[in-house]
Structure 1
Amino acid sequence: MGAFNFDNMFTREAMAEFYSVAVREKRSLMQDIADGAYVSSDLTMGNEIEGSFVRQSDFQLPQTEDFPNGVFNSVREIVKERGGDLAAELGDFDFEVNTRAKTLTGSVFRDEEKEIATKMAQVEAAAHQRGLTTLLSGLTETARREDLVLAHLVQDEQKNHRYGGINQGVMRSRGGPIDITIANHAHTPAFKNSFDHIMAEALCAALQTHIKLRDPALDFARYMNASLILAAPIIAASASTPFVLGEGPLWADSRISVFEQSIDWRSPEVRSLESTPCNFPNRYYSNIGEFYGETLKIPVLIPDLSFGKNAAGKALISSPSFRLMVGTDWRWVRPVWHQGNDEKRYMTLEFRPMSSGPTVVDMVANAALYLGAVHYLAENSDPATKNPVIPYLAARNNFYVAARDGLDALLFWRGRNMPAREVVRETLDFAKEGHALLGIDSSDSKRYLGIIEVRCCMGTPGDIKTAEYQDYKQRNSDDRWGAMEQIVRASHTALHRGITLTLSGV
């Protein structure tokens, strides 16, 4: 794999035709939203959980060439035989588990934890039959530079075609290598690597939490803007990826930086463009049309007019070409429309900053914090039109400061710089109020938000990993890769014991 030929797709005529179709579909989508086609009565949530397969023997990433049908396909065929399903991601060593939509009330978080744990156990059992095991980590610590090659692109035919096209589109637009640089806490260059493809993105595993917008025309701006305000304290509280390809500690959540740089299509000459496909959204929004208008400013990366259609050319979802453009608009919060099995249409807001893992209960705690806080803030203010907690530029700056410094960050909040821990504690208050408004069981709220409260005292999962790394190196003659394996081993143990990493005793 790795040799892609999309020359006919990337002609000037094909690009222009695709863009013209996407513009028409965007107009149609906006009209449907205005006409109430996406109105829904219930407020629901769901999650996409990305993870990695690693070898049982040494926790290294598996090699595609060691599996006749590729790593992902080899595991998925067993999962399917047992009545389950597994979604493909960019890397052949990646996978994704999706949860069903659940009404945001009662025991929703406990139910979500049970569903994720059940599905992960099913994937784990299948992986074991292939000599593999599962890991949930925003950046797999044992990954090495040589793992990130196009030969390790997922072998799933449909996704291989799509990701191969995106790779070619990004590299054509960029016109040169992808350089990834991350400064350490002293703000000096501490990590630098160069790629001639987008496979560094395959390292990045996310917890993507969706909340349904009951009426996108009315709800989008409130929930979107509240999400932008909350992104920084939620990243500060959940940061878990201080290491990249054996280097670190770098940022508290280095995945933010790796992701943004790994699929940046911009050439050096146009890096000052306002709209980029992988960054913090550009403003507080007044309506959903503003956001999708910015999507149309992003160059077409993969002009595939067959996307979202069956063999007969019938669309399987509304506005499929514009949907593909939105799929390559990787901003940290974005609205996405869906079509259920009953063909009923609905729209969710996808919150993308949180890293996957390190355990199921850690992820549900992160989602509970976000969902409670965003509901409270959205229902009690509209940051675009009233007095926001913070101005937009402060929200954007806070996001990157929190990703870099975690709970040690200073965040601009209510007119002054405040320690991140204080901001997280206020966010916890928002979440508790939001849970009460939603009718979340008090025991659920206490259990999952209690995990966040413990982190404010004991540190984030990333802090635990850094402490484990430093302790191991001191005891083992500065063995960097041995320390990486120890971090993965500890995270893996906590994951499969069903406990939070903070209280795992590593």
Structure 2
Amino acid sequence: MGQDVERREFSRADRMRYREKVRTNLDALTRMLEEVQFECERPLTGLEIELNLVDEDAAPAMRNQAVLDAIADPDFVTELGQWNIEINVPPDVLEGDGLHRFEQRVRGSLNAAEAKAAAIGTHTVMIGILPTLRQDHLTHDSLSANPRYALLNEQIFAARGEDMLIQIEGTEGLATRCDSIAPEAACTSAQLHLQVTPANFPTYWNAAQCIAGVQLALGANAPYLFGRELWRETRIPLFEQATDTRAEELKAQGVRPRVWFGERWITSIFDLFEENVRYFPALLPICEDEDPIAVLADGGVPKLGELTLHNGTIYRWNRPVYAVVKGRPHLRVENRVLPAGPTVVDIMANAAFYFGLVRTLAEADRPVWTRMSFNAAEENFHAGAKNGIDAQLFWPGFGHISAAELVLRHLLPMAHQGLDRSGVDPAHRDRLLGVIERRCVTLANGATWQVGSAARHHGRLAGMLREYRELMHANQPVHEWPS
């Protein structure tokens, strides 16, 4: 959810000063993109995984602080809901056995965390939406104690001026109203970070946008919300609605949502930050003392605190990230498309497919986005979320084609090529991309397994979730789970 902030009230003067500071930050970023050397000699990748906490009956366990105290590992932090925690995996390079190191590190950390959580009667689950969540779990009181969350809740509802409507039509339908942003905490994801140069950022971001629908089709793992079967990746429409600051009248006027796929291909990372400043009012207008222009004039590297805080309150599915690490600035594409789970090996297979495919597409002589409309990419995104592995997607040269066939015939070889260019050990490449291949052949992913298991459990989602948790910890890819 971003950096911590203190609870406070905001005045009109605060908002005016913040707007000016953000614009000054944007001016400083413009100069840096032209004049400053960004860190990217050995590009790093990163991974964050959001986890759910459940009790012995598979119900949400509102105990994240107690679990974090028991785990006592700084890589684990709070998330929005009291039944959420997050693991931040230290960044690493892909080359050689980098993907394997990621997998071993995550498995080791999660196994240790599960053992310590279980000792206090709580268990961890990696899943897109916890199937046993009920609406009465999602209240203001279920938010984590961090003042940032209460402040975000206040500011979003002040902007809306009314309760939030959650309305999703799927296999079943759902229409309900909520008086807090707690439904956002129902959405748990696996986020992939890729460090890039300023010159390469637009091609990698455009490529990531092109394949977002494919990622969802392959990785869907959230078919249930409040006991109802909705989209195969219900997390997407839920997240889009759960942080929407617009009243119905503003939606009708075409005002842009804060959870946003975007509306165009870009030519610079500046395009995204400039859109954020131009289109979205501040939710947390907190100013730092830093004068970024003066810092640049003195030969330093500004943190651009206001711009990065503002960026953190606009929830693009592929988000630009600016950060300063050890005195050097760097840029990342943060891919926020995928749900958590079902297993560590499934997450790493999703990561290998993404990192390999996005590199091949970004380095292509004739980029795919020059032959594909932005609207088509957005339609693919929602088709992948709604229909999962059964989605029909548009791709240049193929027209509308099943997601599985598109991956098997065209995209999987490109992912192999991209991992080769990144120097990934062929054994690890083949093992992880083999998981993607078998998902496509069997047409099985987390969402299809959940729906099938729920039927075997006669609709009892708690029974399904207990079975899911046992299989998750065995770390066999989901296409091999008993059906």
How high is the TM-score relative to the length of structure 2?
0.92
Instruction: Give the aligned partner of residue 469 of structure 2.
Output: 492
2:69 corresponds, among 77, 85, 91, to 77
Deviations 1:266-314, CA, capped at 9 Å, x for gaps? 11121143532102122110111111111112121111226999xxxxx
Distance in 2 separating the partners of 1:444 and 1:84:
28
Deviations 1:157-208, CA, capped at 9 Å, x for gaps? xxx21111111111111111111111114xxx71112101110001110100
- Answering whether residue 303 of structure 2 is matched by residue 318 of structure 1, we say yes
- Answering whether residue 384 of structure 2 is matched by residue 398 of structure 1, we say no
Instruction: Give the aligned partner of residue 294 of structure 2.
Output: none
Query: Residue 494 of structure 1 contacts residue 500 of structure 1 at CA under 8 Å; is this kept in 2?
Result: no
Change (3 A) 1:274 1:290: farther
Distance in 2 separating the partners of 1:409 and 1:201:
25
Shift of 1:439: 1.4
Distance in 2 separating the partners of 1:45 and 1:60:
34
Instruction: Give the aligned partner of residue 334 of structure 2.
Output: 350
1:327 corresponds, among 277, 293, 312, to 312
* Mapping for residues 300-311 of structure 1, pairs under 5 Å: 300-305=282-287
Distance in 1 separating the partners of 2:175 and 2:37:
48
Shift of 1:396: 0.9
Instruction: Give the aligned partner of residue 101 of structure 1.
Output: 91
Instruction: Give the aligned partner of residue 178 of structure 2.
Output: 195
Distance in 2 separating the partners of 1:326 and 1:317:
16
Distance in 1 separating the partners of 2:385 and 2:46:
24
* Mean Cα deviation higher: 455-464 or 259-268: 455-464
Query: Residue 86 of structure 1 contacts residue 97 of structure 1 at CA under 8 Å; is this kept in 2?
Result: yes
Change (3 A) 1:100 1:308: farther
* Mapping for residues 349-388 of structure 1, pairs under 5 Å: 349-381=333-365, 383=367, 388=370
Shift of 1:486: 2.3
2:322 corresponds, among 323, 334, 337, to 337
Query: Residue 307 of structure 1 contacts residue 324 of structure 1 at CA under 8 Å; is this kept in 2?
Result: no
Instruction: Give the aligned partner of residue 162 of structure 1.
Output: 148
2:405 corresponds, among 401, 422, 427, to 422
Distance in 2 separating the partners of 1:420 and 1:399:
11
* Mean Cα deviation higher: 365-374 or 28-37: 28-37
* Mean Cα deviation higher: 368-377 or 13-22: 13-22
Query: Residue 166 of structure 1 contacts residue 301 of structure 1 at CA under 8 Å; is this kept in 2?
Result: yes
Shift of 1:364: 0.6
Change (3 A) 1:439 1:6: closer
Change (3 A) 1:207 1:381: farther
Instruction: Give the aligned partner of residue 258 of structure 1.
Output: 238
Amino acid at match of 2:340: S
Structure 2 counterpart SS, 1:140: coil
Query: Residue 307 of structure 1 contacts residue 321 of structure 1 at CA under 8 Å; is this kept in 2?
Result: no
Structure 2 counterpart SS, 1:17: helix
Change (3 A) 1:302 1:308: farther
Amino acid at match of 1:241: A
Q: RMSD value over aligned CA atoms?
A: 2.2
User: 5+ residue gaps in structure 2?
Assistant: 292-299
* Mean Cα deviation higher: 387-396 or 494-503: 387-396
Structure 1 counterpart SS, 2:149: helix
Instruction: Give the aligned partner of residue 274 of structure 2.
Output: 293
Query: Residue 49 of structure 1 contacts residue 207 of structure 1 at CA under 8 Å; is this kept in 2?
Result: yes
Instruction: Give the aligned partner of residue 13 of structure 1.
Output: 13
Instruction: Give the aligned partner of residue 435 of structure 1.
Output: 419
- Answering whether residue 152 of structure 2 is matched by residue 172 of structure 1, we say no
Distance in 2 separating the partners of 1:308 and 1:116:
36
Structure 1 counterpart SS, 2:48: strand
- Answering whether residue 192 of structure 2 is matched by residue 209 of structure 1, we say yes
Distance in 2 separating the partners of 1:135 and 1:206:
12
- Answering whether residue 208 of structure 2 is matched by residue 243 of structure 1, we say no
Change (3 A) 1:400 1:306: same
Query: Residue 75 of structure 2 contacts residue 89 of structure 2 at CA under 8 Å; is this kept in 1?
Result: no
Distance in 2 separating the partners of 1:381 and 1:221:
15
Structure 1 counterpart SS, 2:228: coil
Structure 1 counterpart SS, 2:457: helix
Instruction: Give the aligned partner of residue 132 of structure 1.
Output: 122
Distance in 1 separating the partners of 2:123 and 2:328:
37
Shift of 1:33: 2.4
Query: Residue 75 of structure 2 contacts residue 88 of structure 2 at CA under 8 Å; is this kept in 1?
Result: no
Distance in 1 separating the partners of 2:7 and 2:285:
10
Q: How many residues align?
A: 466
* Mapping for residues 48-59 of structure 1, pairs under 5 Å: 48-55=48-55, 57-59=56-58
Change (3 A) 1:308 1:90: farther
Distance in 1 separating the partners of 2:430 and 2:118:
35
Structure 2 counterpart SS, 1:20: helix
Distance in 1 separating the partners of 2:335 and 2:6:
34
Distance in 2 separating the partners of 1:241 and 1:434:
29
1:462 corresponds, among 447, 465, 468, to 447
Instruction: Give the aligned partner of residue 66 of structure 1.
Output: none
* Mapping for residues 470-485 of structure 1, pairs under 5 Å: 470-473=455-458, 480=459, 482=460, 484-485=461-462
* Mapping for residues 29-40 of structure 1, pairs under 5 Å: 29-40=29-40
